[in-house]
Amino acid sequence: MTPAKQGTLGQRLDSAQTAPVPRESMPPAIPQEDIGLAGHFDESDFVIPGWFLVQPSSQDFPDAKAGQFATRDGRVADSLKVVVLRIAATRALWPKEMGEGRRPLCASNDRVHGRPFGDTDGGEVLCQDCGHYSDNPWDGEDGCYKGYAILMALIDSDDEPAVIRIKGTSMAPVRQKLLSHFQPRPGRVPMPVWAKKFEFTSEKGENVKGKFYIIIPKLIGATGNPDHYRDLARHLAGVSVEAVEEEPPFEEEEQEEPFE
């Protein structure tokens, strides 16, 4: 039985902070031999572009229509053909009342270690020890939302690395149409995520809050050269795929419904 929630939001986060979890950050996977980079480089020097599914309420992508994919530097696409290199299971704790900060109270890039922000800055906590671990973000309270951050290679852009974040109503189709291909099965050798190619398209939905778009992964086929993508994934192994980018879940996506 799940214990009843007690205390304020801050108290529930503080309960998990009594024993911060120390953890060294992983450096980028930079080869040691001479490849033309001089001096000390860290994660801040390597920026992976992010792609977003444009919603009807989006105001950050003036050159894109709702249902298209876009980047903050103005690129627009109707769909994305990709090879997935890594999928990070994420969480982000957003307050019920967003205010002007548009920043989560806490975020996790692995659903194991949380990084509180604001008044609770100062260390990492174990997610399972937090009072928000069993949150149901759809019940009208402060919500710790699950999501995925997908590091991918764009097939039509010479395998350019990119990131797309999955949340809200897009979670179900991604589970069913992408993650299901890589589910470990007894007696079988696990299949790496870079073994298959996918096309990300969008589909229009509607609920009591209005109209919105969800991401639909479509299997294209086998990559044909999985070793190339394995090496690319290893090269990018030290690049952090952040849980959030200072952006709360879209209002239209506050109800996650089963996808058929």
Task: Please state the φ and ψ torsions of residue 70, each to the nearest 5 degrees.
Answer: -150, 160
CA separation (Å) from 112 to 92, 128, 150, 258, 260?
12, 7, 17, 25, 30
Residue 46 has pLDDT above 90, yes or no: no
Helix (H, G, I), strand (E, B) or coil at 193: helix
Residue 56 neighbours by CB under 8 Å, 6+ apart: 66, 210, 211, 212, 213, 252
pLDDT in tens, 167-196: 888 999 999 999 999 988 888 888 999 999
pLDDT of 20 = 41
pLDDT in tens, 142-152: 678 889 999 99
CA distance 142 to 131: 11
> For the residues 31-49, what does the mean pLDDT come to?
72
Cβ burial 107-128 (10 Å sphere, 16+ → b, else e): bbbebebbbbeeebeeebbbbe
> For the residues 38-50, what does the mean pLDDT come to?
77
pLDDT of 208 = 81
Question: Which tokens is 136 given?
Answer: 């149901």
pLDDT of 190 = 84
pLDDT of 123 = 74
pLDDT of 35 = 67
36 Rama class: left (phi>0) / alpha (psi -120 to 50) / beta:
left
CA distance 166 to 249: 10
Task: Please state the φ and ψ torsions of residue 206, each to the nearest 5 degrees.
Answer: -155, 140
Cβ distance 109 to 243 under 8 Å? yes
pLDDT in tens, 218-253: 999 999 899 999 999 998 887 766 655 545 454 434
CA distance 213 to 143: 21
pLDDT in tens, 101-146: 567 788 888 889 888 875 545 578 898 888 888 776 555 566 788 8
Q: Where are the alpha helices (DSSP H) in the chain?
A: 9-14, 171-177, 226-235
Cβ distance 81 to 154 under 8 Å? yes
Residue 83 has pLDDT above 90, yes or no: yes
Q: In the chain, what are the helix, strand and coil shares in percent, each to the nearest 5? A: 20, 30, 50
pLDDT in tens, 87-103: 999 988 877 665 545 67
